Structure 1
Amino acid sequence: MKSFLIYLFLFIVLCTYANAQQQSRMAFITGKLEDSDKNPVPFANVALYHTKDSTLVGGAVSDETGNFKIQSSAGHYLLKITFLTLNEKIVPDVRLAGKDINLGVIIMTSNAKVLSEVVVKGEKSQMELQLDKRVFNVGKDMSNIGSNASDILNNMPSVTVDVDGNVALRGSGNVRILIDGKQSGMVGMNPAEALKQIPGDLIESIEIITNPSSRYDAEGEVGILNIVMKKNIRYGLNGSFTGTAGYPSNFGGSFNVNYRKKKLNLIASYGHLYREGPGRGTSRQVYNSTDTSFIYEQKNTRTRSGFSNSFMVGMDYFLDKYNTLNGTVSYRKSRNKNTSLLEYRDFDLNNNLTRTVIRSEQETEPRANFEAAINYNKTFEKKGKSLSVVGKYILSDEIESALFNESSQTEVGSLVQRSFNTEDEKNILFQVDYIQPFGKNGQIETGLKSSIRLLDNDFSVHQQNQAMNWVILPDFDNRFAYDEKIHAAYLMASNQLGKIFIQAGLRGEYSDILTELKKTNVVNHRKYFNLFPSLHLSYKLKESQTLQLSYSYRLSRPEFRSLLPFSNFSDSRVFRAGNPLLNPEYTHSFEAGHLMNMEKGSLLSSVYYRHRLGVVENITSVDSAGFTTVTPINLSTGDSYGFEFNLTYDPFEWWKWTANANIFRAVNQGVYNDKILRSDTYTWTSRLSSRLTLLKNIDFQSSLNYRAPRKTTQGKELSQYSIDLGLSRDLLKGRATVTASVRDLFNSRKRRSIVENAGYYSQSEFQWRARQFLVTFSYRLNRSKEKEKRADDSDNGEDS
């Protein structure tokens, strides 16, 4: 035993000495990689081989500046350098003799054949299908370039945006709009206007989630629209810059840059937008009841103009392989200036003109929004296991002040009025999510979320008397407070059994909502708890075909604007008011989908059914003086049946087609003032788009949007269509792109509607924004177009 220990000791000493001798002969091979334009080549593979037998000895990856370093023992070697879009480079006769050598700058040449393949294969798909959502990459659609968030949503399948900016999904306006998966002050208290202030150049993709799983908030009858903002985590300094000019006035610029080195990633984005949106409309109102009978026509012209500035800075800090800390701060400030001119022409029942009234409006509308968020993400050695913690604070304020002047040719003097509407909002959000894998493909997800939302709205209308003093109109003077506290928890499990993937979850939400009209002391306090189950099934029929089934139970709480008992006062004869007594809607949603991947395209088709309780509808009523009020109420139950398809087809590499349609039947029925109101309508929406690639670097796109007529419980909405065209060309070796486009080529995007009630008939047409011409220039810093596409598919943070 003693001899064995002596021999063992001597063996260790000899091995240590030999290893020390070997280490003393180790040396470094260094160099720098550049392309033909003397730009560094980052992240290229550099492999070291023995010259004698071509065995692999070692290797390295070049850093963001193109430099590489390989350590090896003395010997005779060759280097093989590979990069996706460049020719392979061989450096022969590399002799290492115990001291470091520097190979200097190594030039790599472009490979036109490989580059062509990257453009086709590395390109992000316009639509990506995931288990519970569809992802649409915004940059692939030329009609989105130089636009705002509202325009982009209007180009999404099954999504419609009316002339007032209200967003609907599958024909329903009860859709939840999120920013980066969370509620945001960027959408604000008035989503229709706020979405127009978000530059489209800062948007990466739109996620359409028609049957959300339990990990998402239960809010939103038809689902969720998630706007994903651009954020880069590529190494080095890179980014993109965009400038837009258009007619009618539409000017903007934005940038999105990041700098990453080792464990730190810094990001910043800024967008400026100035626009003028001219609109016009006409309507005819006929009142014929026992109390009053008269006719008037209205003609209005409006211009909504203003600017917005959106700024965001953030930081990702990769503590180690498993822990990441992220913080962002964003600020948006905007100021709108809106003018309108309304002409009322009064007629008697014999259609004789009796009076003409002119009403003008000048409104200013400054807004500010501040957001701060901090995220902590932790992954584990076990793949798929993760923990995330999110905290967010939002502060928003908005002030609307308007001056009105109304005069008539048959009356002396004029009516002068003004209105003030201040809206302040504060949001606090905390959320934690945890994922625990089990078995081969299973995982359990659970999480908690609490959100507090406090809003304060002060509204008043003043009228100037004969003594030129301002007098408050008591019917239009109040202060509305809205306090919302929602606490939620969810548990969800998923697993794959052969060709079947199943995901089931349950979410519980406790809602505590208090509304108060402070000047009239009207208080409404609601507390309720609901359970929201969800179920998703996916079955792989063949390698190219997948079947999906899903169910979810959801609710739609009344939005802030729908609860306000007062609203815009620009039209003195038609007043749109909210209803503080509105209750939530509840929806059972079922959907079955089939995805078929073909050699030259894909087809996603689905059928769905929704059953709704407490459906909110706008009811038009007329008083004895002919004053019209539009108010939302919980009117009816509703059933919707629909079929939807999304088709992509590429007959050639240079020609791509996309088509989508949503065909549905909606049946609503309820009772109002002891009268049964019912609507049963068959209608559809569709979009057809074609993109041609000409001369390798020129793209031409055309698209047609169509919205069929539909019946409502008090009338009908007529059809609407529009055509968009776009032409783009790549410049500066793919680092820049210039795009020219026209939206609504034939000036046909108009809302046309008819309302019929007992003793009342109205027909109207309105166009919110005229035909738009745009030219946009985009430049990519340290990223060519092809490299950007490839990086989008492969760059996933720390592992990259």
Structure 2
Amino acid sequence: MVGIVGAMVAAHAQQLTGRVVDSQNQPIEFANVALYALPDSSLVTGTITDARGAFALEGGGARRTFLKVSFVGYETRTIDAPQSGVTVTLQAEAAQLGEVTVTASRPAIRLKNDALVASVQGSVLSRAGTANDVLRRLPSLTSDNKGVFSVFGKGEAKIYINRREVRDLSELDQLNSADIRDVEIVRNPGARYDASVKAVIRINTVRRAGDGFGFDARSSWYEGETTDLREQVNVNWRRNGWDVFGTALYGRGAYLIDSRIAQQTRLDTLWQQENTLYATGVDRWVRITAGTNWEISPAHYVGLRYTLSPTLRDDINHTTFNSMVHADSAFYDEWHSDNARRTTNHPAHRLNAYYNGTVGRLGIDFNVDFYTSGSTSRSHTEETSRMQEDRVVNSENRVQNRLVASKLILSYPVLGGEFSVGGEYVRTHRTDTYCNPERIVPSSDMTADEWNSSLFAEYARETPIGQFGVGLRYEHVRSDYLSDGRPLAGQNRSYNQWFPNVSLSTQVKGVSLQLAYTAKTQRPTYRQLSSNVYYANRLSLQTGNPLLKPTVTHDVSLTASWRIVQLMASYRQERDAVIDWTERSPSDPKVSLITYRNLDRLPALTVFATVTPIFGPWTPQLSAGLIKQWAEVEIDGRPVRCDKPLFRASLNNSLRLPAGLLLTLDARYRSTGDERNLYLKDATLVVNLGLTRSFFGDRLSVTLRGWDVFRGEQGGYTILAPRMVYEQYDRYDSREFEVTLRYKFNAAKSKYKGTGAGNRELERL
């Protein structure tokens, strides 16, 4: 006993440091490192590795100790009497090697502490095409027609590539799937993330070695009822720790929306509208990015990144709107409206500078950002009426945005774990002016200033029962709103809020488990807060609600992973959820005002499961999930329940064919159900088909793909609101044929490590 005590006392007298890497010398983050004392193998202390694979333990001075290093998907290693500076290499488990490295049959999906991790390198996903294509084929991820990804049951996800946030979603199209090592899906982000971030997707790329010049060029053509184009080139040059990179992207996106809208409004009388809407438009954009990264030493990185979105051509939208109107079932009028809107996007600038490194045992991650953008939108509407006078409505909307932000994260090993502390400061300024010379709707001049200061602390360490993590974030938000230069009474507010999170990750008989609790918020967008009134037709106007409160969400989640099966369940409670709403216009009793309001509480339960078996060259992935909410809204003096569950399922198939061909056949299904106070009344079934072939040693790849081949991405919904029943059915140009050519020469991914600051505010802008 005396010897054991002596060994443990000596173990705390000296620090033991080292790194954990895989067979390709890639750092392994969140690996468990435990120090044991002999002869009874009692635990002295433990910790986890950081993003660089580094660890530090108080206990390196013990004469009779051994180190045990483990991580899910790798063989556990035990080292006798280690010395400081040791590098521990973990080998993938035999099953992992058989599934990924040798046969390249399927992506290994596993639970790694705070994230569900899907391996891409060496799997069929590496040939999916782009990062966009990879994410579309991962469990629990869904995307809308704008390319925004959400995690099932959580909400919109923030995306990071090598710890730097993706601000422009076109970056996902620029990243080749073959350059992705793995993707981490975080369903319960900790305190270091903005309190409004409910889910995170972290993309880690393959580390490229060597100096020299490389480039990657891609050309994509999409043909449906409209034509879309993507043309891009990425260049990179490396030498002696310097990394210079640049990207140029041109995009053309054409779209159409064909909608049928039925609206019943009980105001001064019962108004019934049967509307048809047909909208077309073309957007064109250019993104030019240039930057440099300097690896001063393996412990110190600095870099600068600048993105310019120049003015190319105006975005043009044309909308035709026809209305048949009845009052108390008697014919009232018929309107035909033609609207042309031209939007000029002013040049947008974003500058990010960062430092990332370690000083002794202290890790430092610092970012500073500057962003500015603006747009001018001019709209001309000609409205003809069978029974009343014709109208011409002109409007101009000018928006200017400016943001300055900084973020600092410090990390230090404490008591066998890692303690992180940091802060973020964001300052935003927005002006939004709206002018209607005919004075059919009021003109406005609104200025919004917001200051967001936050502090956070996190601690994580290995315990005898598993990996334990806890965090706390404090945010102080102050908002000032001016209308025509004068403060708006009751609309200038400040918030002081605390957001805790706690998690426990462990293994029970081969099953990886994570139990987590988080508190999050969602502040309304500036558009939702705007008091500007927009003209729809003679009976409908649209506006925001400056009195909206932020939504606060409490979420408890359980995630389990066993071999080829992953299960997830979560219960969340939203306070002051923002929903669509309708009110009577104060200036005209027959006109409805479409706006927003807060719902006191919105509880919901989510369950989700994924199975990833393998049958020779066929690699299927089946996922299914259910969201059940318990929402109640008061409509015309009576409570209405919105609690029909929403079911989603997907089946992704990859089939390796002779001659190096890869065939993909993917299907996703969504049932009818309630989502807030919207009832999704049409089920959707989307089927995508693709064929990929590589040439010249994988330098050239050709992809042929059919999107939504049966045109199933169509559907309708009903909004439940006071004095109104609103039903809409939308048809999109979702069926497209794609041809993509990609050529790469000595391509190397940038070493850029900047993560950015104020990212959530940029999204709101």
TM normalised by structure 2 equals: 0.76
Cα drift, residue 782 of structure 1: 2.0
Identity of aligned residues (%): 18
Match of 1:386 in 2: 363
Q: Confirm or deny that 1:615 pairs with 2:577.
A: yes
- Give CA-to-partner distance per residue, 1:727-782, whole Å, 9 cap, x none: 11111221111111121112221240123556533322012433121110111212
Among 219, 222, 244, the alignment partner of 1:243 is 219
> Secondary structure, in 3 states, of the residue corresponding to 2:644?
strand
Cα drift, residue 238 of structure 1: 2.3
Q: Confirm or deny that 1:450 pairs with 2:425.
A: yes
Q: Confirm or deny that 1:253 pairs with 2:259.
A: no
Distance 1:339 1:395 in 2: 28
Distance 2:607 2:238 in 1: 46
Distance 1:519 1:682 in 2: 47
Aligned ranges 1:524-539 → 2 under 5 Å = 524-539=491-506
Aligned ranges 1:603-642 → 2 under 5 Å = 603-622=565-584, 626-642=590-606
> Secondary structure, in 3 states, of the residue corresponding to 2:437?
strand
Does the 8 A contact of 2:111 with 2:560 survive in 1?
no
> Secondary structure, in 3 states, of the residue corresponding to 1:561?
helix
Cα drift, residue 650 of structure 1: 2.1
> Secondary structure, in 3 states, of the residue corresponding to 1:558?
coil
Does the 8 A contact of 1:143 with 1:724 survive in 2?
no
Aligned ranges 1:268-307 → 2 under 5 Å = 268-287=246-265, 291-307=268-284
Q: Confirm or deny that 1:355 pairs with 2:348.
A: no
Match of 1:762 in 2: 726
Distance 1:559 1:152 in 2: 29
**Which region of structure 1 is more displaced relative to structure 2, 531-540 or 565-574?**
565-574
**Letter in structure 2 aligned against 1:132:** D
> Secondary structure, in 3 states, of the residue corresponding to 1:645?
strand
Among 664, 674, 685, the alignment partner of 2:627 is 664
Distance 1:528 1:354 in 2: 48
Cα drift, residue 688 of structure 1: 1.6
Q: Confirm or deny that 1:749 pairs with 2:731.
A: no
**Letter in structure 2 aligned against 1:723:** V
> Secondary structure, in 3 states, of the residue corresponding to 1:580?
coil
Q: Confirm or deny that 1:778 pairs with 2:753.
A: no
Match of 1:130 in 2: 112
**Letter in structure 2 aligned against 1:746:** F
Match of 2:551 in 1: 585
Match of 2:670 in 1: 707
Distance 1:701 1:387 in 2: 43
**Which region of structure 1 is more displaced relative to structure 2, 579-588 or 163-172?**
163-172
Distance 1:181 1:456, change over 3 A: farther
Does the 8 A contact of 1:323 with 1:379 survive in 2?
yes
Q: Confirm or deny that 1:462 pairs with 2:437.
A: yes
**Letter in structure 1 aligned against 2:173:** G
Does the 8 A contact of 2:154 with 2:187 survive in 1?
no
Distance 1:176 1:353 in 2: 46
- Give CA-to-partner distance per residue, 1:21-74, whole Å, 9 cap, x none: xxxxxxxxxxxxxxxxxxxxxx9xxxxxxxxxxxxxxxxxxxxxxxxxxxxxxx
- Give CA-to-partner distance per residue, 1:283-313, whole Å, 9 cap, x none: 1223456x22343211111112111111111
Q: Confirm or deny that 1:697 pairs with 2:660.
A: yes
- Give CA-to-partner distance per residue, 1:64-86, whole Å, 9 cap, x none: xxxxxxxxxxxxxxxxxxxxxxx
Match of 1:683 in 2: 646
Cα drift, residue 541 of structure 1: 2.1
Distance 1:678 1:514, change over 3 A: farther
- Over the aligned positions, Cα root-mean-square deviation in angstroms equals 3.6
Does the 8 A contact of 2:668 with 2:686 survive in 1?
yes
Distance 2:255 2:492 in 1: 40
Cα drift, residue 545 of structure 1: 2.6
Cα drift, residue 155 of structure 1: 6.0
- Give CA-to-partner distance per residue, 1:418-455, whole Å, 9 cap, x none: 2211211111111111121245x521111121111111
Does the 8 A contact of 1:185 with 1:369 survive in 2?
no
Does the 8 A contact of 2:583 with 2:722 survive in 1?
no
Distance 1:537 1:757, change over 3 A: closer
Match of 2:615 in 1: 651
Match of 1:731 in 2: 695
Does the 8 A contact of 1:186 with 1:369 survive in 2?
no
Distance 2:114 2:325 in 1: 54
Among 344, 350, 360, the alignment partner of 2:323 is 344
Distance 2:599 2:375 in 1: 31
Distance 1:350 1:668, change over 3 A: closer
> Secondary structure, in 3 states, of the residue corresponding to 1:219?
coil
Distance 1:420 1:138 in 2: 47
**Letter in structure 1 aligned against 2:351:** A
Distance 1:735 1:120, change over 3 A: farther
Distance 1:592 1:171, change over 3 A: closer
Distance 1:337 1:673 in 2: 40
Does the 8 A contact of 1:606 with 1:644 survive in 2?
yes
Does the 8 A contact of 1:230 with 1:256 survive in 2?
no
Does the 8 A contact of 1:706 with 1:722 survive in 2?
yes
Q: Confirm or deny that 1:200 pairs with 2:164.
A: no
Does the 8 A contact of 1:233 with 1:258 survive in 2?
no
Does the 8 A contact of 1:232 with 1:258 survive in 2?
no
Q: Confirm or deny that 1:377 pairs with 2:356.
A: yes
TM normalised by structure 1 equals: 0.73
Distance 1:447 1:394, change over 3 A: same
Cα drift, residue 117 of structure 1: 10
> Secondary structure, in 3 states, of the residue corresponding to 1:649?
coil
**Letter in structure 2 aligned against 1:660:** S
> Structure 2: which 5+ runs fail to align?
1-24, 26-96, 754-765
> Structure 1: which 5+ runs fail to align?
1-42, 44-114, 188-194, 464-471
Distance 1:486 1:782, change over 3 A: same
> Secondary structure, in 3 states, of the residue corresponding to 1:200?
helix
Aligned ranges 1:469-618 → 2 under 5 Å = 472-473=439-440, 475-498=441-464, 500-518=466-484, 521-523=487-489, 524-542=491-509, 544-566=510-532, 569=535, 573-597=539-563, 602-618=564-580
**Larger relative CO (CA 8 A, sep 6+): 1 or 2?**
2
Does the 8 A contact of 1:176 with 1:219 survive in 2?
no
> Secondary structure, in 3 states, of the residue corresponding to 1:215?
coil
Distance 1:662 1:617 in 2: 23
Distance 1:461 1:130, change over 3 A: farther
Does the 8 A contact of 2:219 with 2:740 survive in 1?
yes
Distance 1:689 1:616 in 2: 34
Distance 1:672 1:520 in 2: 35
- Give CA-to-partner distance per residue, 1:96-154, whole Å, 9 cap, x none: xxxxxxxxxxxxxxxxxxx999975679948564322345689966997479x6x9876
Distance 1:304 1:231, change over 3 A: farther
Cα drift, residue 206 of structure 1: 6.5
Distance 1:142 1:435, change over 3 A: closer
**Which region of structure 1 is more displaced relative to structure 2, 402-411 or 276-285?**
402-411
Distance 2:475 2:500 in 1: 11
Distance 2:732 2:202 in 1: 23
> Secondary structure, in 3 states, of the residue corresponding to 2:546?
coil
Q: Confirm or deny that 1:210 pairs with 2:187.
A: yes
> Secondary structure, in 3 states, of the residue corresponding to 2:527?
helix
- Give CA-to-partner distance per residue, 1:203-244, whole Å, 9 cap, x none: 868754321111111114xx1344759797542222321100
